[in-house]
Amino acid sequence: MVGSLGKTDTRKPSDKSLKALDWANFFLADVRDGLGPYLAIYLLTSLHWTAQTIGFAMSVMGVATVITQTPVGILVDRTRKKRLLSVIASLLIATAALLTIRLPTYNVVMGGQAIMGVAAAWFTPAVAAITLGLVGHKVLDGRIGRNETFNHAGNVFAALMAGLIGYYVNNEGIFILLAVMSLISSVAIWRIREDDIDHDLARGDGQSEEGNAASEKPSGWHAILSNRAIVFFALACVLFHFANAAMLPLLGQRLAKGINAGASAAYMSACIIVAQLVMIPVSNITGRLAPKGRKNLLLIGFAVLPIRGLLYTMTNDPVLLVAIQILDGVGAGTFGVLSILIVSDLTKGSGLFNTTQGAIATAIGLGASLSNAFAGSIVQRAGYTTAFLTLSGIALAALAVLWLLVPETKVE
């Protein structure tokens, strides 16, 4: 551990704040991830961009997130304006989505993705901090599981709506859906009562059990970088997301070949819906099982990724390709819950919960953003099968790092 937990963190937030947090997670589902694979379909079918150019466009959001993620984590630890800044981030994403379809030039698309990347960098640490500040460490496992459950339910709703809009209206309507969900998420966030948030607890609390600052322990960046568990966990996460990030966009482009734009959007929505439906129970179960240990559960989530990449190379049947997304649901469902809990374990008592989240998210974002450009280049030169097999190999490396080098972080 970086530090040790000090004062009691038993919390009794109002029902209004907890319900608002539920709805914030539901409507932020589509907002914090941006347009994702729908952007790839739009750029391919409406603007006729090449696979490599699409890969670069989709990497812009990730690069912007990488640049801002660590400073954002530090800001989340220091600011008491978490709700206000969350609302501003939501409004920026809505603006960028609308500009992308109103002025679909190369510069506007790239600029819009950069804006989304900067804004999206805020949500993961901010929501985790607000949650910790509301409920405390003692019930964080179940609450993070509930957050992720609502988040995935929101993704199912958004994907279903996007599929219907893309099929019956046009792909541009999906961008409007993102803007609307951004606005609604802003309202939900603002309904969380400020008085219910303990901002000291939200940063991991910097006091020792005796109530004195843990000055004998490493602090700040030295505390993070000197902790082998944090460093190796970050490495495993980078490799996992480098392998994972490009798989769904590549699948979307593959499904779009030879069919119309509306049908490709519908298939992509089916892929997302299948995965998100699986994530709902997986997230809930993971939150319930997490108090017994983190590592074995996360190993399951990591192990399904190379299997998923391999299965993509074995069929061209759209129905089977959609069904394979069940594995994505297992992997993402476990990771979404456990990554936050593991960071919470490793930073308890340090006051560096969100700073560490930001640093790890920066590393993850770097891997994810490079993944799209890397995979796009492979597709351009060697085809989709080679790209999926390469990503599967990287996923195996991620599994090895987690298994061999990252310890169990849950302490009874």
- HSE, side-chain direction, 13 A CA sphere, residue 112: 25
How would you class 134 by CB atoms within 10 Å of its CB: exposed for 0-12, middle for 13-18, buried for 19 or more?
buried
What pLDDT sits at residue 10? 62
Q: Which residues pair with 213 in a beta bridge?
A: 207
What pLDDT sits at residue 5? 45
Six token digits for residue 242: 């480098």
Three-state DSSP class for 210?
coil
Six token digits for residue 252: 């979307």
What pLDDT sits at residue 95? 92
pLDDT tens-place string over residues 294-323: 999 999 999 999 999 999 888 878 788 888
Calculate the CA dihedral of residues 204, 123, 148, 178 and round it to 10 degrees: 170
What pLDDT sits at residue 209? 38
Report the candidate in 229, 186, 248, 316 with the shortest Cα–Cα distance to residue 1: 229
- Residue with token string 């990724």: 305
Three-state DSSP class for 348?
coil
Please give the chain's pLDDT, 412 residues, in tens.
Answer: 554 444 445 678 899 999 999 999 999 876 666 666 678 778 877 777 877 788 788 778 877 878 888 899 889 988 899 999 999 999 999 999 899 888 888 888 889 889 988 888 898 889 999 999 999 888 888 899 899 899 888 878 887 888 788 778 877 888 899 899 999 999 999 999 999 999 888 887 744 333 444 444 444 566 667 778 888 999 999 999 999 988 888 887 777 665 555 566 677 777 878 888 898 899 999 989 988 889 999 999 999 999 999 998 888 787 888 888 899 989 988 998 999 899 888 887 777 888 888 888 888 877 777 887 788 788 878 888 888 999 999 999 999 999 999 888 876 6
AA identity, residue 352: L
How would you class 217 by CB atoms within 10 Å of its CB: exposed for 0-12, middle for 13-18, buried for 19 or more?
middle
- For residue 329, CA distances in Å to 125, 174, 273, 333 come to 22, 22, 9, 6
What pLDDT sits at residue 221? 60
Domain ranges of the chain: 15-200+220-405
User: For residues 241 and 52, what is the distance between their CA atoms, to the nearest angstrom?
Assistant: 19
User: For residues 112 and 1, what is the distance between their CA atoms, to the nearest angstrom?
Assistant: 39
DSSP state of 314: T
Calculate the CA dihedral of residues 177, 179, 183, 185 and round it to 10 degrees: 70
Six token digits for residue 376: 């796009």
Six token digits for residue 189: 């966030």
AA identity, residue 23: W
AA identity, residue 226: S
> What is the rounded radius of gyration, in angstroms, for the C-alpha atoms of the chain?
20
CA quadruple 166, 168, 172, 177: dihedral positive or negative? negative
Report the candidate in 41, 61, 36 with the shortest Cα–Cα distance to residue 51: 41
- For residue 334, CA distances in Å to 149, 201, 297, 300, 401 come to 11, 25, 7, 8, 17
End-to-end CA distance of the chain: 13
The dihedrals phi and psi of 330, each to the nearest 5 degrees, come to -65, -45
What pLDDT sits at residue 223? 64
What pLDDT sits at residue 299? 95
**Max Cα distance, the chain (Å):** 67
Kindly indicate whether the domain formed by 15-200+220-405 is annotated with CATH number 1.20.1250.20.
yes
How would you class 178 by CB atoms within 10 Å of its CB: exposed for 0-12, middle for 13-18, buried for 19 or more?
buried
User: For residues 243 and 98, what is the distance between their CA atoms, to the nearest angstrom?
Assistant: 30
With a CB cutoff of 8 Å and minimum separation 6, the contacts of 212 are: none
pLDDT tens-place string over residues 250-278: 887 777 665 555 566 677 777 878 888 89
